[in-house]
Amino acid sequence: MHSTLIRKYKEIFSKEPQFFVSSSGRVNLIGEHVDYHDGIVLPCAISLKNNFVGGPSEDYEAIGINISNRSEFRADIKGLNIYEKGSSSSYLYGVCRSVIDAGHFIKGINFVVDGDLPIGSGLSSSASFCCGLIELLSQIYKLNLGKMEIAKIARMAENNYVGVPCGIMDQMAIAFGKEKKLVKIDCRDLSVNYCSMPNNISIVIVNTMLKRQLAKSEYENRQRECSLLLSILRRYYPYIKSLRDVNSNMLNTIKNEVDEIIFKRGKYVLDEIQRVEAVFEMMNSNNIKDIGKIFYEGHIGLRDEYEVSCDELDFIVEETYKFEGAIAARMTGAGFGGCAVTLIRNGFEENFSNYIRSRYMSAFKRDCDVYIIGQPVDGLISIRL
C-alpha cells in the first residue's frame, strides 16, 4: 500500500519515515450550496485519496515531495512568509502555521505524498491534503488532535493562508468519514450523525472533465443574492439568522417584494435542506425506492432555481436515469463543471461506466472520467511505520 512512498522517502531524506497517513476525498450526496446557509449536508469519505509518509525535520523547514506530478515544494514555517496563493507551498505553509496558530508546538516536517484525487473536480483534493498533513503532524509531534480540531485547523489553513473562503463541510466529511457510513453534518452547530448506506448500492462518480471556471464568481453571486433575500425577510422576521430559520410560508410572505430570481434562490435552499433529511431517513431505514426522485428534484433545483449546473452535468444526470441499474443521480460540488454523483445497483458499475462514457463521447466529442467508489470509507487512517 505504501512501499513506493517509503522507498521514495528513504531515497530523498536518507532515513526511515515514521508514519503513514491516508486522507480521503469526499463526495456530497445531497445538500449542495446549503452549508453557508447553516443547512444540513450528507457527504461521505471516498476511496480516492492522498497518501503520505513522513517524519520530522531537524529545523523549521517543511519539505514535501509529490510523486504524482514529480514536484518538490518547501516552506519556512518559523517566520511570517508569503507564498503564491493556491500554490503547494502556500498549502504547506498554511497548514503548519495554522497548527501553530491553534496553540501547538511543531518544528519542520519531511514527507512524500501521492494520490489519485483529481484536482478541481469538486471531490475536495485540497481539504484531503490539509487534513492528511495535519494528521501526519499530529502523529509526528504527539499532538493528539481530535477530528473536529483537525477539520477546524484545515479550514483555517485554506481561509487564512491560501485565500480560499471555504466552509467546514469538506474537512469534517473527511475527518469524520467512516467505512460504509454517510455523515450528516449540521453546518450550524457542527453536530455529526451517521447512517449506513445499503450494501446493494455503489457510489459511482462521473467527472465532466470541465474545470469549474465560473464557480468562484457565481458562488459569490449566490451569496449576495441570498443575503439580499435574508435582509428583506428580516423586515418581517427580525429574529432569523440565516435561511435555515426560514420556512416556505415565511418565504411566500415576501414573494411579491423580491425579484423572481432571488425568490428561486431561497426556495431551492429551503427545499434542499428538507431533501437531505428525507434521504438520511431513507438510508437509515433501507427504504430507497424514492431516493431517485429526490436526487432528481435536487438536481433540477440546482439547474433551474440555483442555476449552477451546466449542459454536461445535465446530460450525465438525464442519461443515468435511462440506465437500467441506476438508482439516483445529481450534480455534486459547486457546479459549472466538476462531477455528478450517481447511485448504481451492485453488479452494474462497469456496464454503467462503459455506457455513460460512450453516451458522453457521442454528445460532446470528448471523454468524461468515471470513478467506481462503491461504499464510503474511513476518512483518515494513520499507521506507525
Q: Which of 170, 245, 259, 311 is catalytic?
A: 170
CA dihedral 243, 245, 251, 253 (to 10 degrees): -140
Cell of 42: 450528507
- Total residues belonging to the chain: 385
Distances (CA, A) of 107 to 9, 68, 110, 114, 332: 18, 26, 10, 23, 38
Tell which phi-psi region holds residue 103, choosing left (phi > 0), alpha (psi between -120 and 50) or beta.
Answer: left
Residues in Cβ contact with 330 at an 8 Å cutoff, skipping those fewer than 6 apart? 30, 32, 295, 296, 298, 299, 302, 317, 340, 341
- Is residue 367 flagged as an active site residue? no
Identify the residue whose cell numbers are 416556505. 248
C-beta of residue 112 within 8 angstroms of C-beta of residue 8: yes
- In angstroms, rounded to a whole number, what is the distance separating the alpha carbons of residues 165 and 134? 19
The residue written with cell numbers 517566520 in the block is 79
Torsion, Cα of 379, 367, 30, 150 (10° steps): 30
Catalytic residue annotation:
170
